[in-house]
Amino acid sequence: SQTIHQWPATLVQPVGSPLSLECTVEGTSNPNLYWYRQAAGRGLQLLFYSVGIGQISSEVPQNLSASRPQDRQFILSSKKLLLSDSGFYLCAWSSPYEQFFGPGTRLTVL
Amino acid sequence: GNSVTQMEGPVTLSEEAFLTINCTYTATGYPSLFWYVQYPGEGLQLLLKATKADDKGSNKGFEATYRKETTSFHLEKGSVQVSDSAVYFCALKEGGSNYKLTFGKGTLLTVNP
Protein backbone atom coordinates (compact mmCIF):
# COMPACT_ATOMS: atom_id res chain seq x y z
CA SER A 1 0.00 0.00 0.00
CA GLN A 2 1.04 3.59 -0.51
CA THR A 3 2.22 5.81 2.31
CA ILE A 4 3.36 9.40 2.45
CA HIS A 5 5.81 10.76 5.00
CA GLN A 6 6.62 14.32 5.98
CA TRP A 7 9.26 15.62 8.32
CA PRO A 8 9.77 17.27 10.57
CA ALA A 9 6.35 17.23 12.20
CA THR A 10 6.90 20.59 13.86
CA LEU A 11 9.46 23.29 13.35
CA VAL A 12 10.18 26.63 14.97
CA GLN A 13 12.52 28.89 13.03
CA PRO A 14 13.67 32.51 13.35
CA VAL A 15 12.90 35.05 10.67
CA GLY A 16 15.60 35.05 8.01
CA SER A 17 16.67 31.46 8.56
CA PRO A 18 16.57 28.81 5.81
CA LEU A 19 13.96 26.09 5.50
CA SER A 20 13.88 22.56 4.19
CA LEU A 21 10.81 20.36 4.47
CA GLU A 22 10.86 16.88 3.05
CA CYS A 23 8.16 14.63 1.71
CA THR A 24 8.55 11.06 0.49
CA VAL A 25 6.05 8.64 -0.97
CA GLU A 26 6.26 4.87 -0.84
CA GLY A 27 4.42 2.21 -2.78
CA THR A 28 3.85 4.06 -6.04
CA SER A 29 5.93 5.26 -8.93
CA ASN A 30 5.94 8.52 -10.86
CA PRO A 31 3.25 10.14 -8.72
CA ASN A 32 2.09 13.72 -9.14
CA LEU A 33 3.24 15.54 -6.00
CA TYR A 34 1.91 18.69 -4.36
CA TRP A 35 2.80 21.17 -1.62
CA TYR A 36 -0.02 23.04 0.11
CA ARG A 37 0.01 25.62 2.86
CA GLN A 38 -2.75 26.05 5.37
CA ALA A 39 -2.50 29.36 7.18
CA ALA A 40 -4.45 30.02 10.35
CA GLY A 41 -8.06 30.83 9.56
CA ARG A 42 -7.60 30.21 5.87
CA GLY A 43 -8.07 27.33 3.53
CA LEU A 44 -5.50 25.31 1.68
CA GLN A 45 -3.38 27.08 -0.85
CA LEU A 46 -1.59 25.07 -3.51
CA LEU A 47 2.03 26.20 -3.62
CA PHE A 48 3.74 23.82 -6.03
CA TYR A 49 3.05 20.68 -7.97
CA SER A 50 5.28 18.29 -9.86
CA VAL A 51 4.50 15.76 -12.53
CA GLY A 52 8.01 14.27 -12.65
CA ILE A 53 11.63 14.53 -11.56
CA GLY A 54 12.90 18.06 -11.96
CA GLN A 55 9.49 19.32 -13.14
CA ILE A 56 8.08 21.94 -10.80
CA SER A 57 5.16 24.30 -11.34
CA SER A 58 4.62 27.22 -9.00
CA GLU A 59 1.11 28.38 -8.29
CA VAL A 60 1.82 31.55 -6.33
CA PRO A 61 4.75 33.97 -6.21
CA GLN A 62 6.59 33.80 -2.91
CA ASN A 63 9.96 33.27 -1.32
CA LEU A 64 9.54 29.50 -1.26
CA SER A 65 10.85 27.02 -3.80
CA ALA A 66 10.38 23.32 -4.43
CA SER A 67 12.53 20.59 -5.88
CA ARG A 68 12.04 16.97 -6.84
CA PRO A 69 15.44 15.30 -6.91
CA GLN A 70 14.02 11.76 -6.99
CA ASP A 71 10.81 10.22 -8.25
CA ARG A 72 9.20 9.96 -4.83
CA GLN A 73 10.85 12.84 -3.00
CA PHE A 74 9.56 16.39 -2.89
CA ILE A 75 11.32 19.16 -0.98
CA LEU A 76 10.06 22.59 -0.01
CA SER A 77 12.73 25.20 0.68
CA SER A 78 13.37 28.80 1.51
CA LYS A 79 16.57 30.77 1.77
CA LYS A 80 15.14 33.31 4.21
CA LEU A 81 11.91 32.73 6.12
CA LEU A 82 9.35 35.46 6.67
CA LEU A 83 6.83 35.72 9.49
CA SER A 84 4.10 35.17 6.92
CA ASP A 85 5.55 31.74 6.09
CA SER A 86 4.13 30.34 9.32
CA GLY A 87 1.50 27.72 8.75
CA PHE A 88 0.73 24.06 8.30
CA TYR A 89 2.43 22.58 5.24
CA LEU A 90 0.90 19.56 3.62
CA CYS A 91 2.41 17.32 0.98
CA ALA A 92 0.17 15.21 -1.21
CA TRP A 93 0.34 12.74 -4.06
CA SER A 94 -2.37 11.77 -6.47
CA SER A 95 -3.62 8.66 -8.18
CA PRO A 96 -5.88 9.14 -11.19
CA TYR A 97 -8.83 9.09 -8.81
CA GLU A 98 -7.82 10.61 -5.51
CA GLN A 99 -5.36 12.87 -3.78
CA PHE A 100 -3.67 11.56 -0.61
CA PHE A 101 -2.22 13.84 2.02
CA GLY A 102 0.69 13.48 4.39
CA PRO A 103 0.47 14.24 8.12
CA GLY A 104 1.79 17.80 7.67
CA THR A 105 4.49 20.00 9.15
CA ARG A 106 3.60 22.79 11.56
CA LEU A 107 6.00 25.68 10.90
CA THR A 108 6.22 28.64 13.26
CA VAL A 109 8.42 31.56 12.24
CA LEU A 110 9.35 33.87 15.12
CA GLY B 1 -10.93 30.42 -12.77
CA ASN B 2 -12.29 27.74 -10.50
CA SER B 3 -13.48 28.52 -7.01
CA VAL B 4 -15.20 26.84 -4.09
CA THR B 5 -17.28 28.67 -1.52
CA GLN B 6 -18.33 26.96 1.68
CA MET B 7 -19.91 28.20 4.86
CA GLU B 8 -17.03 29.16 7.08
CA GLY B 9 -18.51 28.45 10.46
CA PRO B 10 -17.53 27.61 13.06
CA VAL B 11 -20.46 25.26 13.45
CA THR B 12 -21.30 23.97 16.93
CA LEU B 13 -23.85 21.21 17.37
CA SER B 14 -25.04 18.86 20.05
CA GLU B 15 -24.58 15.14 19.62
CA GLU B 16 -27.24 13.53 17.39
CA ALA B 17 -28.11 16.84 15.71
CA PHE B 18 -28.50 17.15 11.95
CA LEU B 19 -25.56 18.64 10.05
CA THR B 20 -25.48 20.62 6.83
CA ILE B 21 -22.39 22.34 5.52
CA ASN B 22 -23.07 24.27 2.34
CA CYS B 23 -20.68 24.24 -0.60
CA THR B 24 -21.06 25.90 -3.98
CA TYR B 25 -18.59 26.02 -6.80
CA THR B 26 -17.63 27.82 -9.98
CA ALA B 27 -15.89 25.83 -12.67
CA THR B 28 -15.59 25.41 -16.38
CA GLY B 29 -16.55 22.07 -17.77
CA TYR B 30 -17.56 19.19 -15.54
CA PRO B 31 -15.47 18.98 -12.40
CA SER B 32 -15.33 16.19 -9.84
CA LEU B 33 -16.30 17.23 -6.32
CA PHE B 34 -14.92 16.14 -2.98
CA TRP B 35 -15.28 16.53 0.74
CA TYR B 36 -12.14 16.15 2.84
CA VAL B 37 -11.97 15.97 6.63
CA GLN B 38 -9.09 17.12 8.82
CA TYR B 39 -8.99 15.90 12.40
CA PRO B 40 -7.01 18.01 14.89
CA GLY B 41 -3.28 18.01 14.17
CA GLU B 42 -3.56 15.69 11.17
CA GLY B 43 -3.49 15.86 7.41
CA LEU B 44 -6.56 15.66 5.21
CA GLN B 45 -8.52 12.49 4.50
CA LEU B 46 -10.95 12.01 1.68
CA LEU B 47 -14.45 11.69 3.12
CA LEU B 48 -16.49 11.29 -0.05
CA LYS B 49 -16.60 12.25 -3.69
CA ALA B 50 -18.85 12.54 -6.73
CA THR B 51 -17.63 12.60 -10.28
CA LYS B 52 -20.70 13.59 -12.28
CA ALA B 53 -24.01 15.39 -11.95
CA ASP B 54 -26.61 13.74 -9.69
CA ASP B 55 -24.03 11.38 -8.19
CA LYS B 56 -24.30 10.97 -4.43
CA GLY B 57 -21.15 10.39 -2.44
CA SER B 58 -21.49 8.77 0.96
CA ASN B 59 -19.22 7.56 3.75
CA LYS B 60 -19.45 7.16 7.54
CA GLY B 61 -23.03 8.46 7.53
CA PHE B 62 -22.13 11.59 5.57
CA GLU B 63 -23.71 12.31 2.20
CA ALA B 64 -23.40 14.91 -0.53
CA THR B 65 -25.13 15.13 -3.91
CA TYR B 66 -23.57 16.74 -6.98
CA ARG B 67 -26.15 19.31 -8.14
CA LYS B 68 -25.13 20.79 -11.46
CA GLU B 69 -28.18 23.03 -11.73
CA THR B 70 -27.34 24.80 -8.48
CA THR B 71 -23.56 24.18 -8.68
CA SER B 72 -23.68 22.79 -5.16
CA PHE B 73 -22.31 19.86 -3.17
CA HIS B 74 -23.70 20.28 0.34
CA LEU B 75 -22.49 17.92 3.05
CA GLU B 76 -25.11 16.34 5.33
CA LYS B 77 -25.26 13.92 8.22
CA GLY B 78 -28.40 12.91 10.02
CA SER B 79 -26.92 12.44 13.49
CA VAL B 80 -23.48 13.78 14.35
CA GLN B 81 -21.18 12.34 16.99
CA VAL B 82 -18.50 13.95 19.13
CA SER B 83 -15.92 12.10 17.02
CA ASP B 84 -17.09 14.04 13.94
CA SER B 85 -15.52 17.20 15.34
CA ALA B 86 -13.05 18.30 12.67
CA VAL B 87 -12.52 20.75 9.84
CA TYR B 88 -14.34 19.90 6.63
CA PHE B 89 -13.13 21.05 3.21
CA CYS B 90 -15.06 21.08 -0.01
CA ALA B 91 -12.93 20.78 -3.14
CA LEU B 92 -13.20 20.41 -6.89
CA LYS B 93 -10.97 18.90 -9.53
CA GLU B 94 -11.04 19.92 -13.13
CA GLY B 95 -11.06 17.30 -15.80
CA GLY B 96 -7.70 16.36 -17.25
CA SER B 97 -4.67 14.41 -16.19
CA ASN B 98 -3.24 16.87 -13.71
CA TYR B 99 -4.91 16.24 -10.39
CA LYS B 100 -5.06 19.81 -9.12
CA LEU B 101 -7.64 20.48 -6.44
CA THR B 102 -9.27 23.79 -5.60
CA PHE B 103 -10.33 23.95 -1.95
CA GLY B 104 -12.84 25.96 -0.01
CA LYS B 105 -11.67 27.66 3.18
CA GLY B 106 -12.86 24.90 5.45
CA THR B 107 -15.58 24.68 8.09
CA LEU B 108 -14.77 23.88 11.70
CA LEU B 109 -17.36 21.58 13.23
CA THR B 110 -17.51 21.07 16.98
CA VAL B 111 -19.91 18.48 18.37
CA ASN B 112 -20.67 18.66 22.07
CA PRO B 113 -21.87 15.67 24.12
pLDDT tens, residue by residue, B40-95? 888 899 999 999 999 999 999 999 999 999 999 999 999 999 999 999 999 998 87
* A88 in Cβ contact with A36 (< 8 Å): no
CB contact under 8 A, A98 and B46: yes
CB-CB neighbors (< 8 A) of A96 in chain B: 97, 99
CB contact under 8 A, A96 and B44: no
Give the list of residues 6+ apart from residue B71 with CB closer than 8 angstroms, or none.
B24, B25, B26, B27
C-alpha of B61 from chain center: 13
Nearest-Cα residue of chain B relative to residue A94:
B99
pLDDT at B15 over 80: yes
Measured torsion, CA atoms of residues A68, A69, A71, A76, in degrees rounded to the nearest 10: -30
Residue in B46, B49, B106 nearest the CB of A43: B106
Mean pLDDT calculated for residue range B93-112: 85
Q: Nearest to residue A59, comparing CAs of B98, B41, B106?
A: B98
pLDDT higher for B97 or B69? B69
Name the pLDDT band for B36 (thresholds 50, 70, 90): very high
Give the list of residues 6+ apart from residue B88 with CB closer than 8 angstroms, or none.
B6, B21, B35, B36, B37, B38, B47, B75, B106, B107, B109
Residue in A44, A100, A103 nearest the CB of B89: A44
What pLDDT is attached to residue A1? 82
For the beta carbon of residue A77, count every other beta carbon within 10 angstroms.
Answer: 14
pLDDT at B7 over 90: no
Q: Nearest to residue B33, comparing CAs of B50, B16, B8, B54?
A: B50
C-alpha of B92 from chain center: 10
Mean pLDDT calculated for residue range B5-22: 94
Name the pLDDT band for B33 (thresholds 50, 70, 90): very high
pLDDT at B98 over 70: no
What pLDDT is attached to residue B29? 80
Flag residues of chain A having pLDDT under 50: none
List B residues 55-94 in contact with A (Cβ-Cβ < 8 A).
Answer: 89, 93
Give the list of residues 6+ apart from residue B44 with CB closer than 8 angstroms, or none.
A44, A90, A92, A101, B36, B37, B38, B89
Phi/psi of residue B26, each to 5°?
-130, 125
Element (DSSP H or E) covering residue B11: strand B11-14
**Rounded percentage of chain B residues whose pLDDT exceeds 90:** 76
pLDDT at B96 over 90: no
